[in-house]
Amino acid sequence: MTKTRDNWGSKFAFILAASGSAIGLGNIWRFPTVAYQNGGAIFVQIYILFVLLIGFVVLIGEISLGRHTQRNPVGAFRRLAPGSAWKHVGVLGVLSALGVISYYSVVAGWTLSYVFTTAGGIFNSQLTQAEISEVFDGTVGNPLKAIFWHFTFMLLTVGVVIGGVRKGIERWSKILMPLLLLILILLVIRSLTLEGAEIGLSKFLEADWSKVSGTTVIAAIGQAVFSLSLGIGTMMTYGSYMNREENLVRSAGAVCFLDTLIAILAGLAIFPALFTMKGMEPEVGAKLIFIVLPRLFSEIPFGVLFGTGFFVLLSLAAVTSSISLLEVPVAYFVDERGWKRRNATLLCGMIGFLVGIFSALSLGAVDWLSEITTIGTRKMGFLDLMDLFMGQYSMTFGAMMIALFVGWRWGTPALLKEITRGDDPPGRLRKIIAFQIRYICPLLLIALIAILIINPNAFA
Ligand code: PFF
């Protein structure tokens, strides 16, 4: 424990790495879909409201816990509430981070494989809709292929994390994040200049009240928690490498802003593209990404280029998120068990890979894994269940516990002390943050968890 702890090289390094964690498949793939299903512009507004009400302050709370204790999630709770059951919130975070990475890497593996599929020019105008679907089924439903790409993606993640905080995570975030933004902007321009782009754009920007209901609010909170990587200790771990003098509130604000900006830009890129295709109902989820969009790329000029760019974008976004997921258990083994980073990274990468094999086989390759149960009207396979329990329930529950811990156990005076070490945020802002973390966040998150207990398929 005597060796000095890893830390970020500058304040921008933290912002880049934390935004890298936040910005992922959740922004580029999930946000446009959820927004479409929930009334377009209204959803975007409700979403922004909850980012401000919950996301921003829980993010501040999480980073503060990490920076204050200079520890991984388990160590952070142990230090601040010794001998209590709070450390289990940290344990749940570490386990959930491993759970999320296991299936996230499978999905990211598909995007990686599509970089090559698309670049190879397979999606051309001769290909029928059915043939494009076959390419997709042949990727996700082929056990060897799915496992191979999952393995490759996990290897990339391990390769970055093994390099450490500065030489691995920071270095790669600095390269990948600007690249991601550049590709996304080019795609937005391409999409907005497609013939008929206005139709899709208006679907995204116009408010459709008929699609708004109670589940819209649940979806918005769930999306905000997932998108900002909250509740499972990721931001706590990244915060533990943060400099004491840095303005924590401003950095958290920058992360929220960038994460929301990228999600909206992704909506602007995807919606117009979707509705320019005649005779096709806009699909959601994996079908949207791997079937509808490739069909579009097969029809537009320079489609191979834009298609490849799109899958590169998804892969980049995914890798900067998955490194943050892997860093959580790695930091646990390094801090709490005194392991070498290298060994911790290899072990955690291996666990993520092995657990992920079940998800990789759950899209057609193995029948019982593909349809484990039905929740509501949805047939759920292993991957869907992991996403529901790890990516939604566990993260939302963790966010609730963190808000309760910071607001009531650690206490708002301690929080305010931690966030006023550097440049002071204005007094009024401090009061608002304290009020939100003590009252608003626990209230809303407890209500949400209660709804989920009564109606478990509210997220599904
Ligand atoms: N925020 C990421 C996304 O939007 O894709 C996903 C994620 C990363 C969730 C890291 C949780 C996490 F700890």
Task: Reduce the secondary structure of 160-201 to three states and give it as a string.
Answer: HHCCCHHHHHHHHHHHHHHHHHHHHHHHHHHHHCCCCHHHHH
Nearest residue (by CA) to ligand 1, atom 10, is: 229
Q: List CB contacts of 428: < 8 A, sequence separation 6 or more.
A: none
CA of 406 to the centre of ligand 1 (A): 22
Pocket probe for ligand 1: among 256, 259, 325, 393, the residue whose CB has the most ligand atoms within 8 Å is: 325
Query: Which atom of ligand 1 lies at the shortest distance from residue 233's CA?
Result: 13
- 251-296, pLDDT tens digit by residue? 999 999 999 999 999 999 988 887 776 555 656 678 888 988 888 8
Q: What is the pLDDT of residues 101-115, one digit of tens each?
A: 999 999 999 999 999
CA of 320 to the centre of ligand 1 (A): 9
Q: Which has more pLDDT, 287 or 1?
A: 287
Q: How far is the CA of 121 from the centre of ligand 1 (A)?
A: 31
Distance 158 CA to ligand 1 centre (A): 17
Cα(323) to ligand 1 centroid in Å equals 10
Residue-range domain boundaries for the chain: 11-454
Share of the chain above pLDDT 90, in %: 75
* Residue 163 binned pLDDT confidence (cut-offs 50, 70, 90): very high
State the distance from the centre of ligand 1 to the C-alpha of 105, rounded, in angstroms: 11
Determine the 3-state secondary structure of 280 from DSSP: coil
Q: Ligand 1 test: best mutation among 47, 51, 98, 104, most atoms within 8 Å of CB?
A: 104
Whole-number Å distance, alpha carbon 387 to ligand 1 midpoint, is 11
Contact predicate 94/88, CB 8 Å: no
| Better pLDDT: 251 or 376 | 251
Q: State the Cα–Cα distance between residues 29 and 22, nearest whole angstrom.
A: 13
When pLDDT is cut at 50, 70 and 90, the band that residue 2 belongs to is: very low
What's the pLDDT band for 23 if we cut at 50, 70, 90? very high
* Adjacent-strand bridge partners of 373: 380
- What does the pLDDT look like over 169-208, one tens digit per residue? 999 999 999 999 999 999 999 999 988 888 888 888 888 8
**Average pLDDT over the chain, rounded to whole?**
92
pLDDT of residue 79: 97
Given the CA of residue 25, which atom of ligand 1 is nearest to it? 5
The predicted pLDDT at position 459 comes to 67
The rounded Å distance from CA 447 to ligand 1 centre is 23
Question: How would you class 259 by CB atoms within 10 Å of its CB: exposed for 0-12, middle for 13-18, buried for 19 or more?
Answer: buried
Supply the residue whose CA is at minimum distance from atom 7 of ligand 1.
229
**CA dist., res. 154 & res. 159, Å (int):** 8
Which residue is closest in CA terms to ligand 1's atom 13?
A: 229
Residue 377 CA to ligand 1 centre (angstroms): 26
For residues 391 and 453, the model is more confident at: 391
d(CA 108, ligand 1 centre) in Å: 12
Q: Residue 102 in contact with residue 355, Cβ under 8 Å?
A: yes
Nearest-CA neighbor of 201 among 190, 192, 188, 213? 192
Reply yes or no on whether the pLDDT at 450 is more than 60: yes
Work out which ligand 1 atom sits closest to the CA atom of 231: 13
pLDDT tens digits, one per residue of 223-253: 999 999 999 999 999 999 999 889 999 999 9
| Backbone φ and ψ of 207, nearest 5° | -85, 120
Percent of the chain at pLDDT exceeding 70:
96
CATH code of the domain made up of 11-454: 1.20.1740
Residue nearest atom 11 of ligand 1, based on CA coordinates: 229
pLDDT value, residue 175: 96
Arithmetic mean of pLDDT, 82-98: 98
* CA 27 to ligand 1: nearest atom: 4
CA 213 to ligand 1 centroid distance, Å: 25
Q: b vs e for 266-301, b when ≥16 Cβ sit within 10 Å of the residue's Cβ?
A: bbbbbbbbbbbbeeeebbbebebbbbbbbbbbbebe
Residues with CB under 6 A from ligand 1: 21-22, 24-27, 97, 100, 226-227, 229, 232, 234, 321, 324-325
Query: How do residues 191-200 score in pLDDT, each as one tens digit?
Result: 999 888 888 8
The residue among 177, 156, 153 whose CA lies nearest residue 261 is 177
- Specify the higher pLDDT residue, 432 or 211: 432
Check if the beta carbon of residue 275 is closer than 8 Å to that of residue 200.
yes
Identify which has the larger pLDDT, 44 or 378: 44
157, 227, 320: residue to mutate for ligand 1 pocket, most atoms within 8 A of CB: 227
Backbone angles phi and psi of 40, in degrees to 5: 60, -120
Number of the ligand 1 atom closest to the C-alpha atom of 22? 1
Q: pTM here?
A: 0.95
